[in-house]
Amino acid sequence: MAQRTRHHRPGLCFAATVSLLALLLCLPSGSTAAEFLDPAHPLHTRLAVELADGRITRSDALMQALRAVFEPASGAVPDVDPEHVPLRCATTLIRSARKTDSGLSAAQIQQLDQWTDFAQPARRASNIYLSSAGHFAIDYLTTGADSVSTTDTTPANGIPDFVDQVGVALEFSWTTQVDQLGFDPPDTGGVPYEVLLRSIGSYGTTELSPGSPGGTRIILRNNYDGLPANEDPDGSAIGALRVSAAHELRHAGQFATSAWSETGLWIELDAVWMEDQVYDQVNDYYRFLSSNSPISSPWLPLDDGGSASYPECIFEHWIEARLGVDGIRQYWERRRAMPGEQVIDSYDAVLTSNLAPLETLFTDFALFNLQTGSLAQPTNGYPEAASYPDATLSETRSSLPASFGSSVDHLAAKLYRVDGFSLGDEDVQVRLRQPAGVQLRVVALTLRNDGVRIEEDLYATSQDTSMVLMTDADRIDELYLVVANGDKGGPAEWFFADVEEIPPVSPDPVVTLSDNWTLLTMATGQTRDLYIELVNNGPASSTLQWTARATDPPPVVAQRSIAGSQFLLDRIDYIPAEIHDMAVGILNGSTGVEFLTGATLELPAGVSVVSGQNLVGESGLVLTYLGFDPPTSTVHWLNLDGGFGSVPAGQTALGGLSLAFDTSLTGPLAFNWTLDGNGFGGAPHQVTGQVVLNGPASPRLEIRCPDPPLPAIIGSDYDITWFAADPSPLTIELSRDDGQSWETLV
């Protein structure tokens, strides 16, 4: 039971007895995460929605997904009912069901045991085929629902052709993965690895099997007819078998390396990548790239839902393009050494040791994903990019200036296109504006009308950064902007990106001057000759404008700065459990002409924002209220109008802020503030300070019993005792759903 109190005022001691007869017991529920659900499969997509809506439980979702694997619908037509398309791989699904915290009941676990008990008489194999190199013992049947086709013509050797094909696919996968690429095989101690051919609603699965060599075993379908098409020249059925053999053998090797310590569906990303290493001609993975992939949905986090999956296989293709297959080997060596590390941190460590941190490289990954389909180029990017779908753009503009305002999630990107450039020689400027503390990165990809492509990085060194592109407007056919957030976690970050044409700027002259300055002492009426050599060594189109002046030594003056600036609140105290509307003011104490461009206020624990207002200066310029950032407990105001800033020297900007103060607060509260200048003049360009509000010496309300809180058991009575400093009404409420809704008891 959870309790909540409201409107309590402080010095009297109260006690109440609340009966919980007939009240529901709210026990901590098991995990509701759907880490076992494949976001690319229609059935799993529906189950994820129903689970999120509360229509089914986690165990319901598990059992429905498992039933589709072990009791596949007979005669189902995938084109009519996509939910009957076999699951790409059931490894993660079965692994989740076998965990101790799966939430399955004893009866459901017994059902799972029956499904996976292939030694029962109806499913016991009477045929074991040893593959050509002896790495695999293939268990198959020739009668019953699990039987393979008994056709035996190529070759006619007493072994069904399909079983021969399985053996060839598995041995070729072993040769490629283990002997050539250097990945771990299943640790069987030299005993043939167990492979079963059965009728399942999945391309295949690799499951824990303590009694099998290597601790796992592979189950493949007993036929691969009627599955989604691929590009294998020998036909889609044999292509599906081949990539399934490569995929499942990779899972067995992963287990040998890290015991599947990876959470969610990360192991599927790697297994799909391996399919293309072993059977490059099949390209079954293409179908994953058209939905929810970093190409088709670049705005989704790489670990959307907490884990990468099949569509994110392209991430390892990118690592391979930058580091070769050795980059993936290094990742798995790190997983062996540090199995408890977060998966994304393992990838990051490999990239950092070889190139740069993932946060820095994420724009490169996003740029690879942009240049696919019709934008593919042969000299850079994915080798098979032309066969991938076109990247999905967030917006397109066909006139200038063009402005884009949005937010981008962690490990995600927004892609934009601009065309319609003028026929003149104007320069093209790209500008990025973002809040303080945010480190988004922008890459501009220019497609010139002569076919040349130019990539230029905008390194955001401040909240407002711009760059002029190398190409004049009349030579640009299309311009693409990639705005990427390479942070491995955290909230979506907002930004504004602008593209505009500006008058061309002549190249800067390169000046050679024999003397920068010369000090002459001359008597009144004296004449002296002074020779100075001045040369412009710059480009042919550059112009050097110069003036010679004779002056007295300049006087020493104080540097311009914003020292003395202040952040002001119109209160000196607060009352717990109340909301205070207060005026906010900032004073620019600059002694020169430096403007204020931004302000932040860090709230102490227990204080939250209800609403805020812009800060409006005396000259009408505005510092815009950007809201409250919970992770940093900071309120932001920022100049979004361009120019020098919003608060000139000597002026004040005023606004408002409504703050809520928790019931438990006591004593003085310190609010740290920061004011930023536009950098004109001398330091400091940033000043900090503190505003203190005084509060009561003791809490207005203190719960004294129960302490600590106890679980609420149906049929039991509990005493609730509190101390308050005054006799104002107090409410006791009950929640049966962990704080989602409340009902009044007293």
**Averaged pLDDT for residues 97-118:** 86
Q: Which of 472, 502, 532 is the last residue of a domain?
A: 502
Assign 662 to helix, strand or coil: coil
pTM for the full predicted model: 0.65
Give the chain's mean pLDDT.
85
Q: Residue 165 corresponds to which amino acid?
A: Q
Instruction: Give me the residue label for tokens 């409250």.
Output: 628
User: Could you give the CA distance from residue 120 to residue 70 in angstroms, rounded to a whole number?
Assistant: 14
280 vs 738 pLDDT, higher one: 280
pLDDT at 121: 58
What confidence score (pLDDT) does residue 548 get?
67
DSSP string for 618-630: TTS-EEEEEEEEG
Both tokens of residue 86?
């076999």
- pLDDT of residue 331 exceeding 70, the answer is yes
Distance, first Cα to last Cα, the chain: 15
589 lies in the same domain as 689: yes
Per-residue pLDDT, averaged over 561-567, amounts to: 85
**φ/ψ of residue 491, rounded to 5:** -80, 170
pLDDT bucket at 354, cuts 50 / 70 / 90: very high
Write out the DSSP string of 114-126.
HHH-TTSGGG--S
Residue 240: is its pLDDT beyond 50? yes
pLDDT band (50, 70, 90) for residue 541: low
Q: Give residue 590's pLDDT.
A: 82
Least confident of 26-35, 323-332, 634-643, 727-736: 26-35
CATH number at residue 611: 2.60.40.740
Residues sharing a CB contact under 8 Å with residue 395, sequence separation 6 or more, in sequence order: 404, 416, 417
Contact (Cβ atoms closer than 8 angstroms) between residue 653 and residue 617 = yes
Yes or no: say if 20 and 718 are a contact pair by the CB < 8 Å rule.
yes
CB 144 within 8 A of CB 118: no
Say whether both 491 and 571 belong to one domain: no
Q: Which residue has the higher pLDDT, 585 or 733?
A: 585
Question: Considering the chain, what percentage of its residues have pLDDT values greater than 70?
Answer: 84
Q: Which of 394-408, 414-428, 644-658 has the lowest mean pLDDT?
A: 644-658
Per-residue pLDDT band for 31 (boundaries 50, 70, 90) equals very low
**Biggest alpha carbon distance in the chain?**
123
CATH number at residue 441: 2.60.120.380
Whether 585 has a pLDDT exceeding 50, the answer reads yes
Asked if residue 187 has pLDDT above 50, the reply is yes
User: Could you tell me if residue 664 is inside a domain?
Assistant: yes
- Domain-embedded: residue 631: yes
pLDDT given for residue 4 in this prediction: 32
Compute the average pLDDT of residues 471-500: 94
Return the minimum-mean-pLDDT range out of 95-109, 492-506, 559-573, 659-673.
559-573
Q: Per mean pLDDT, which range of 272-286, 397-411, 517-531 is the poorest?
A: 517-531
- Ranked by mean pLDDT, the top range of 93-102, 186-195, 244-253 is 244-253
List residues bridging with 342 in a β-sheet.
Answer: none
Whether residues 688 and 612 fall in one domain? yes
Beta pairing class for 193-198 and 216-221: parallel
Q: Residue 549: what pLDDT?
A: 62
DSSP 647: B
CA distance 13 to 6: 16
User: Omega of the bond prior to 684 within 30 degrees of 0, cis?
Assistant: yes
Query: Residue 577: pLDDT band by 50, 70, 90 thresholds?
Result: confident
Q: Residue holding tokens 């040893």?
A: 130
- Asked whether residue 679 falls in the same domain as residue 584, the answer is yes
**Average confidence (pLDDT) over 714-722:** 67
Range among 81-90, 231-240, 378-387 with highest mean pLDDT value = 231-240
- Most confident by average pLDDT, 390-399, 534-543, 704-713: 390-399
What pLDDT, on a 0 to 100 scale, did the predictor assign at position 321?
Answer: 96
Query: And the tokens for 482?
Result: 């990639």
Higher-confidence position of 652 and 701:
652
654/581 same-domain check:
yes
* Reported confidence tier of residue 558, pLDDT bands at 50, 70, 90: very low
* High-pLDDT (> 90) share of the chain, %: 54
Mark whether 681 and 597 lie in a shared domain.
Answer: yes
User: Could you give the C-alpha distances from 51 to 33, 54, 90, 201, 369, in angstroms and in order?
Assistant: 9, 5, 19, 22, 32
The more confidently predicted of residues 364 and 703 is 364
- Residue 5 clears pLDDT 50, i.e. is over it: no
Would residue 366 count as lying in a domain? no
How many separate domains does the chain show? 2
Say if 267 falls within a structural domain: no
Q: What is the pLDDT of residue 557?
A: 44
pLDDT at 311: 94
User: Do 476 and 587 share a domain, yes or no?
Assistant: no
Q: Are residues 572 and 678 in the same domain?
A: yes
65: in domain = no
Q: Which of 25-39, 49-63, 156-170, 459-473 has the lowest mean pLDDT?
A: 25-39
Confidence of residue 649 (pLDDT cuts 50, 70, 90): confident
Higher pLDDT, 1 or 237: 237
Instruction: State the burial class of residue 310 (Cβ atoms within 10 Å of its Cβ: 0-12, 13-18, 19+).
Output: buried
Name the band, by pLDDT with cuts 50, 70 and 90, for residue 157: very high
Contact at 8 Å (CB) between 715 and 21?
yes
Whether residue 140 is predicted with pLDDT greater than 60 in this model: the reply is yes
Does residue 306 have a pLDDT over 90? Answer: no
Which of 652, 673, 693 is the C-terminal boundary of a domain? 693
| Structural domain boundaries, residue 680 | 566-693
Q: Which residues pair with 128 in a beta bridge?
A: 139
Helix 266-278 with 91-98: angle, nearest 10 deg: 150
Residue 433 lies in a domain: yes
Residue 575 covered by a domain: yes
**400 and 481 share one domain:** yes
Contacts of 192 (CB under 8 A, 6+ apart): 130, 131, 134, 135, 136, 137, 213
pLDDT (0 to 100) of residue 20: 23
CA neighbor of 602 nearest in space, from 568, 573, 635: 635
pLDDT computed for residue 251 by the predictor = 97
pLDDT at 552 (0 to 100): 56
Quick one: pLDDT at residue 700?
A: 61
- Tokens 């002001």, residue located: 568
Shared domain for 576 and 687, answered yes or no, is yes
Which among 574, 569, 565 is positioned nearest to 677, based on CA atoms? 565
571 and 658 within one domain? yes
Residue 89 CA to residue 111 CA, distance in Å, equals 20
The per-residue pLDDT for 448 is: 95
497 with 579, same domain: the answer is: no
Where among 454, 484, 502 does a domain terminate? Answer: 502
In a domain, 195, yes or no: no
For residue 438, pLDDT beyond 80: yes
